[in-house]
Amino acid sequence: MAGRLARLALPGAAWAVAAALVLRLAAVAAIEVRLEGEERDQVVAGDAGGYLDLAGDIASGRDYAVDSGVHPRRAMRVPLFPLLLAGPVWLGQNVDWISERSLSALCRCVVALCGTLAVWATGRLGRAIGGPRVGAAAAWLAALNPLAIAFSTMLLSESLFAALLTLSLAGVAECVRRPVGDAPLPTRCGPAIWAGLATAGACLTRPVWLPFLPCVVLLAVGLAWKAGDLKRAAWTGAFVAAFLVGFAPWPLRNQRVLGAPVMTTTWGGPTLYDSLGPQATGASDMRFRDPPRRVPGWDVLYGEDIGDDRGAIPPELRPAYRVEFNDLHSGDWPGDGPTVQQITALQDWPWVDWRTDDPEVRKAVFGDELASNRLYGRAAWQTAGEDPLRVARLAVVKQGRFWRPWPVGGLPGGAVGVALKIGFAAFFLPLIGLALWGGVRQWRDGGEQGAWEVNRLWALALTWGPVLGLAAVCLVFVGSVRYRLPGEFPLCVAAAVGGLDLWRRRRPGERTARTGG
């Protein structure tokens, strides 16, 4: 009987995954009760509604495009997270008994499953790097991370991105630790293939992960060259091929609908302007794209006030917004020329002369989202170049927001909010301390005889590299704990090594993390 129970017992990492699922589903239930009581749809207003709209486009077979109010943006967002939500949204559209509130809960449950997958991937990464005990400890840290639990209740892409990011790291770690030998081809290439596919999925969720591909290839080839055995890097061929298979459909689709092979999105320019423009504060605030409530000068031109609704200039770089009457014709523009709204809108662009002959401006006004993207990017860099000290101050603010222990928005007020902030800080600060110690031990004990089963440079790159890379991105772009969260999962592996090492020092008879347990 005892033997049967022992065989039924789950390994430590599996218990952590089960606990993660329970905690995240319980959090979803709690947040749904809170939102229903407050008569709200989202914890934090912003991207969630856009993701649901795109999921509705996919579920209904409509064109995949963000309705900007003027011209559709067909490559504003990469498609994987909306594609994930399209399943429950389709059910909500076609199953009568699924209410709008039930659909919201169903979508949150899908996100919670992604968060649970991230915990499993963390355990696998830890096992590949440091053995079973490191894998189990890392999975428990990821499962109990209150920030990860909180984001598993939000209709945002961070949980999916964290899962795919960590899976890609785990696959690379398994490729690195496997001996070249005469193992069968599936054994040698299997982890590389699913690591490449996970990398493609991560890039189709958040394009910020795209530099991971060349970094892995360069590091693998460099270390293999140093070791005098290029066969050690042979797995990178399968890794790159799998990535291309998974990622290529998106730029090919963009070539078809936009006439250009856009690799990621056409939203980089506005995002950069949000981060570096004259209105930038270090936080995301897209109100610079919001329309003024009335068209200036309309009463001068036409002697009448048409009211807020008909006079509002839409946000799309203040471009073409044609009404059914009072078009203003100009010989300087193609076709019928711009409307009065377009001309007035161009006057609001601080970086262009509205009478310019710049073809980029003309393209943007008439709906070219690629030109719009380039204009915003050009304006952002121009503004940054005019005041580098301001950019440096913004970078400090962004790093403060990135490394803050708790999120800024979405927390309740009063004592509950204070308690949640204390809880976030009580987890995050020790996590960083343990991960720092784990990084020190990893560097000192690296190599074939150390506590880590992979080269110490690989171990550092796979555990600390993601969070530091994301932090580097937030030196330029806006900073938020939301963008740090995916990097915390591999960081849990370094923290697990640090914690187990401290525990071993307290109990000298304990074996090292490498030996398992």
Nearest to 82 by CA among 63, 54, 46: 54
List pLDDT tens digits, range 358-379.
677 667 766 788 988 888 888 8
Average pLDDT, rounded, for the chain = 80
pLDDT given for residue 306 in this prediction: 34
pLDDT given for residue 409 in this prediction: 72
pLDDT given for residue 180 in this prediction: 59
List pLDDT tens digits, range 158-199.
999 999 999 999 999 998 887 655 566 666 688 999 999 999
Asked whether the predicted pLDDT for residue 287 surpasses 90, the reply is no
- Return the minimum-mean-pLDDT range out of 8-17, 89-98, 107-116: 8-17
Residue 73 forms beta bridges with which residues?
66
pLDDT given for residue 435 in this prediction: 96
Instruction: Give the integer Cα–Cα distance in Å for 130 and 454.
Output: 8
Segment 416-423 mean pLDDT: 90
Domain map of the chain by residue range? 9-253+412-506
Instruction: Identify the residue with better confidence: 311 or 339.
Output: 339
Tell me how crowded residue 371 is: count the other CB atoms within 10 A of its CB.
Answer: 22
- Return the minimum-mean-pLDDT range out of 48-52, 268-272, 321-325, 428-432: 321-325
Residue with tokens 């897209």: 286
Q: What is the DSSP letter of 339?
A: -
Contact 463, 438 (CB under 8 A): yes
pLDDT given for residue 45 in this prediction: 66
pLDDT given for residue 348 in this prediction: 43
Q: What is the DSSP letter of 281?
A: -
Enumerate residues 6+ apart whose C-beta is below 8 A from 247. 200, 203, 204
- Return the minimum-mean-pLDDT range out of 79-88, 251-260, 338-347, 425-434: 338-347
Nearest to 271 by CA among 408, 73, 44, 487: 73
Most confident of 51-65, 178-192, 449-463: 51-65
- Return the minimum-mean-pLDDT range out of 126-135, 423-432, 478-487: 126-135
pLDDT given for residue 241 in this prediction: 96
Tell me how crowded residue 401 is: count the other CB atoms within 10 A of its CB.
Answer: 22
Question: Confidence band (pLDDT; 50, 70, 90) for 397?
Answer: very high
pLDDT given for residue 145 in this prediction: 97
pLDDT given for residue 319 in this prediction: 36
Segment 48-65 mean pLDDT: 92
Question: Confidence band (pLDDT; 50, 70, 90) for 225?
Answer: confident
pLDDT given for residue 139 in this prediction: 96
pLDDT given for residue 73 in this prediction: 86
- Return the minimum-mean-pLDDT range out of 40-49, 193-202, 203-212, 447-456: 447-456
Mapping DSSP onto H, E and C, the string for 342-404 reads: HHHHHHCCCCCCCCCCCHHHHHHHCCCHHHHHHHHHHHHHHHHHHCHHHHHHHHHHHHHHHHC
pLDDT given for residue 70 in this prediction: 59
- Return the minimum-mean-pLDDT range out of 10-14, 157-161, 404-408: 10-14
- Return the minimum-mean-pLDDT range out of 5-9, 324-328, 345-349: 324-328
Instruction: Give the integer Cα–Cα distance in Å for 137 and 500.
Output: 8
Asked whether the predicted pLDDT for residue 250 surpasses 90, the reply is yes
Contact 176, 223 (CB under 8 A): no
3-state secondary structure of 152: coil
Instruction: Identify the residue with better confidence: 359 or 474.
Output: 474
